[in-house]
Amino acid sequence: MKCAPAPRWPLVVTLGAALITGAAVSLGGGLPTQPALRGDLNLHDPTVLRLPGGYVAMGTGYEDIDAGTLRIRTSADGLTWADAGHLGDRQPGWVATLLGQNPPNLWAPTLFQRAGTTYLYFSASTFGKNTSGIGLMTNAALDPRHPDRGWVDRGLLLSSSPRDPFNAIDPARLDTPDGRAWLAFGSFWDGIKLRELDPVSGTLRADRPTTYALASRGGGAIEAASLLQRGAYTYLFVSFDRCCAGLSSTYRVMVGRARHVTGPYLDRAGRPLLQGGGTPLLTSQGRVVGPGGQETFHDGPGTSLVYHYYDAAQGGAPQMQTTPLRWDAAGWPVLPPLPPEERP
């Protein structure tokens, strides 16, 4: 389940004396930290795409503001972010048909680019229900100077109803080296699922209708799947526990890995994610409360993680944060320490 972030938190500027141009800063010659971002960081369930002309980020819409359409941020360097408005003045027509009305906002987008085409997957639902749908838009030439332009609505991709054991929200796409494409999704209910996509159209492959089960907590809180391939493994990042409760949030980022994209996924201790397993990657620390809603993205030669958290120093305002992913000797992802301003 996702929440409706407050429409206009005061602008939060995260500045630090140690800030330098680049992906991370260093504390007194010690370990590099996550970058100290600045500008307008009020973005919930963020997704980031790096383009030749800069970065574009999108996130969950503001409830009952601008028709609840997806919010947009842009950055020239990935460090300083600016509000770039919202995507469209109305929700796609299929949303009201599916849900019976337009919800207060659209949720949890993901941006993916292949051969110059940008694919935008997003969710339409209402809090606490699995009458939900995942939609698709495409853009043949996304311009980071005008990220709200050029989008074509491709309609409803996948839906769920109370008759289904899953919830069709929180999409995340992965293309594999064998030329295939995949969509992970799911929230609560029976957990995280996977369907195969046509890599060109971005839509579900009707000739391969199998739904794979990747992770579950037996109806408990698991959502926000993101997939990443590295070496011999596919890594599954998910969020556990309570989102969207401000400073009462208990969201945390967990990870498992598998030899094949369809699973089985195990955590560091060998526990199956289908049986509630998961290795902690990021939990609440100091002013950073309830981090989650994460997604991996390619950032030049490396891979980064973007997530949101609730800022205890700003009364629980949702904030976006990015960080490079590091890897330990056993091939498990680790994160640099939080920026100086956000350390306990």
Q: Which residues are designated catalytic? A: 45, 223
Dig out the tokens for 67 from the structure. Answer: 């028709």
Phi, psi of 119 (to 5 degrees): -110, 130
Q: How far apart are CA 117 and CA 140, in angstroms?
A: 5
Nearest residue to 226 via CA among 316, 342, 325, 135: 325
> Judging by beta carbons within 10 Å of its beta carbon (0-12, 13-18, 19+), is residue 67 exposed, middle or buried?
middle
Q: What is the torsional sign of CA 301, 302, 307, 309? A: negative
- Residue pair 319/41 in contact by the 8 Å Cβ criterion: yes
- Strands, sheet with 288-299, edge to edge from the N-terminal-most edge strand: 288-299, 302-311, 317-324
Q: How far apart are CA 250 and CA 230, in angstroms?
A: 29
